[in-house]
Structure 1
């Protein structure tokens, strides 16, 4: 790296795990919003990351340059240094690009703590964005889905946590998207700034629910917590709903739903699976209630925010509510199969009440735009750009 200069930073580097080739996941939506925030503050933004397709650059401002890397290529040294969970994201191509290209006056943003494995030791990390406290998320997911794996991988989880917290302490600023994550960080002695998740703008006024007793789940089932949530709902909740509301319909929509892997034994009554759809709006239009039956995961659940913005009543678990606790009044929160089924059945049986709850949700969701959500980050970046060395959030 070049020697330090007292100059105004003009270039920012954004190191992303998922380049925003689409908006089919919450992670992609958030990193796109982060890139937009950097583009509003800096003269040049250089985005480095994995997993994209041609064409998405066309929607970005001209001063955003993209360095696309095909796939991570982990090394034993990276795994030993950062744990299996972070080391698997190592790319010598990214490491060498940063080592050669980042100047001391540049600002470096790391998206997900795992991507810090690619940042050379002598490159300063200015902002670490935690979509979740990842070590906490991994530990909870393993406990929920694979108890044996959790015991076997416990040492790796512990090493990953040490790496994540060391990265957070290395960064000048840390951003978190849920209050729970902030509490976890605070308990570890790490300060953070709250930068919540948002929702992509809805281009039209939400349609009224049709009143046909239809529930909707939207989520990519190649993501472990979504897959576990759908399996639990189909196995444990949906049969209880049908006992009370036998003409109910359930729509499961999302990436990876083709094939039998997300389904329980046999074909559930009243269930439709729609995989890799071009648009989700037609399915929201068919739904009366949206379900977010998460049993694991972390951070604000973007699919829940999207459901609220579509003017639909929502039934979720306490874990699904994380990050949106202050809006509990416009949701139905239920834990356990009996309670979840009862909450959903009650909304089916009271279409006017469900519609009123959805309307209240839509009113709340108007404040959930990504532009609004990124305000704390833009303020932080403006302070950094202006040479303000204060530790925001610490």
Structure 2
């Protein structure tokens, strides 16, 4: 822990001070504890925090919804000036959602915001002179006062109102009522964020276009996610024959829908051609419906695993047919980093750069997805070629050092500083 340092203290005097920009004072509001970086939202928020910590002294205000994560707070204190963590108890969240039904507040914002966190944000803003406030995920925007005179950069990551719209469309008239209500409320909230912040960031150019269409915000900045690729991966002559993998949080509805789709419509077709093929679902918190899939022929459900590399390094193909996908899917980047050819749905591939086609095959229908998996399982040279293309792709577009530079350039622009 750096302690409660003076606002910009610690710079050397004289010429060195002239050569180096002074350290910034930054307030970082994050919807969930940005550690450990072991799933999509935490991977991005952790790297954003590390980028901010390189440039300034950071006060972190965040929530924790998994009590096990509290053991990681001390790790974050090593990079932050102060860390304030506020627990999210589900019962409190649902009570707040019920109360919000009678208002115009987004239900997801009501679920996640807490009065003690709001008080702490007000105390920090009153007690320190900040150069910059950075928000991560729309929910924490509720903590920002309307009269704030500090520039704000907000990373929405994805346009969540569009995701709620997709949920509503998928669930029909009655079951889709709440998602469509949330779409309208959150869309209005996103419009307010876009109007009041110095910069709004999303994870892909596609999301930037969606934001502009939905809320009229022009000039949203697209900064992608990175991935850490292993220096060496197993070649496709030595992997576990017939193993196909899906990696993700298995209580997240789009992931649950995707593996259910595979089990019902894709995997039986694959097994007709490759009887020994196995489909492995890897990820924490599998729902009861997901766990039940392990009773079907050729399907395995691991639950939480200590290390994904054992599964990504053994598999021959990654199958990722999400029907609802916003922003960059980290599971796709991880698969490519490990040299896996990816078979995906159009909604997944649309989030990637155009040159991803060398590594990612795109199919909308279950029969076509199955045919492509069968083709890849039977052709090691094709798997190797696609896997090598994927590793080149992530090195070209999703290197964390490059993304860190994009954040630094954006912040310099907001503050009117010369590029560091």
Give the TM-score normalised by the residue count of structure 2: 0.84
Q: Counterparts of 1:163 and 1:198 in 2: how far apart (Å)? A: 28
1:370 aligns with 2:404: no
Q: Tell me how far 1:119 sits from its aligned partner.
A: 2.0
1:350 aligns with 2:371: no
- The corresponding residue for 2:313 is 285
CA contact (8 A) 1:78 1:87 kept: no
- Where in structure 2 are the equivalents of 1:1-394 lying within 5 Å? 10-42=24-56, 44-51=57-64, 52-58=69-75, 61-71=78-88, 75=96, 76=99, 80-102=103-125, 103=128, 105-123=130-148, 124=150, 126-145=152-171, 148-187=174-213, 188-190=215-217, 191-199=219-227, 201-209=228-236, 210=239, 212-257=241-286, 260-263=288-291, 267-326=295-354, 327-367=356-396, 368-386=398-416
Q: Secondary structure in 2 aligned to 1:66? A: strand
Q: Counterparts of 1:329 and 1:382 in 2: how far apart (Å)? A: 35
Q: Counterparts of 1:62 and 1:104 in 2: how far apart (Å)? A: 19
Give the TM-score normalised by the residue count of structure 1: 0.89
What CA RMSD, in Å, does the superposition of the two structures yield over aligned residues?
2.4
Q: Secondary structure in 2 aligned to 1:80? A: coil
Higher relative contact order (CA 8 A, sep 6+): 1
Judged with a 3 Å threshold, the aligned counterparts in structure 2 of structure 1 residues 227 and 77 are, in CA distance, closer, same or farther, namely closer
Q: Counterparts of 2:85 and 2:395 in 1: how far apart (Å)? A: 34
- Structure 2 unaligned segments of length 5 or more: list them: 1-21
Judged with a 3 Å threshold, the aligned counterparts in structure 2 of structure 1 residues 383 and 156 are, in CA distance, closer, same or farther, namely closer
Q: Secondary structure in 2 aligned to 1:366? A: helix
- Structure 1 unaligned segments of length 5 or more: list them: 1-7, 389-394
Judged with a 3 Å threshold, the aligned counterparts in structure 2 of structure 1 residues 28 and 90 are, in CA distance, closer, same or farther, namely same
Q: Tell me how far 1:35 sits from its aligned partner.
A: 0.2
Q: Tell me how far 1:82 sits from its aligned partner.
A: 2.4
Judged with a 3 Å threshold, the aligned counterparts in structure 2 of structure 1 residues 68 and 59 are, in CA distance, closer, same or farther, namely closer
Judged with a 3 Å threshold, the aligned counterparts in structure 2 of structure 1 residues 260 and 83 are, in CA distance, closer, same or farther, namely closer
Judged with a 3 Å threshold, the aligned counterparts in structure 2 of structure 1 residues 299 and 79 are, in CA distance, closer, same or farther, namely farther
Moved more, 338-347 or 186-195: 186-195
Q: Secondary structure in 2 aligned to 1:256? A: coil
CA contact (8 A) 2:35 2:76 kept: no
Deviations 1:313-363 (A, max 9, x none): 111111111321321222111112111111111101112111111111112
CA contact (8 A) 1:195 1:374 kept: no
Deviations 1:66-109 (A, max 9, x none): 21111175654697252212222221111111111114543111
